[in-house]
Structure 1
């Protein structure tokens, strides 16, 4: 399972995306070889972030979809859930949680 770092800020986003993109592709190959359909990212360590983290997660979800997989973000901090709601992208990142009324 991939992990988001403790801090995701706009100044570090380009380098983080390059690293994340590479990791996603490698993980996707393993998941696909095991006949899996879902790739997970753990956000438990994420403490300091700005809205760029939403861009990274949406880009990661798009990449996974292009690779025939679904992205699942686990242990999402409450502040990130709220930021996603404010920006109107929560349903894109966690549709199953919104349908059930749970939090990520």
Structure 2
């Protein structure tokens, strides 16, 4: 499903801040840092790049959200509220990066 770069840090922040279904969340500043790291990792950006520059570069990428269907033989990714999955195609259309997170045991 198509999404935007704005959804990535928003969903990662929510997952980190809330702690998922079973965990204890991070404080706001740590959750923001985790969300930023996820966005930067997907775009293969060094930490020194400013947030403003990262947002500018994100516009050139293609962003997708993915989930695993419940009817598949999937024991890891259950599609719970805290499960997130993002794929991004870089501007050259030669590199795909994936980020998936779950708190499912």
TM-score (norm 1): 0.26
Higher helix share: 1
Q: Compare CA radii of gyration and give the structure with the larger one.
A: 2
After TM superposition, the score normalised by the length of structure 2 is 0.26
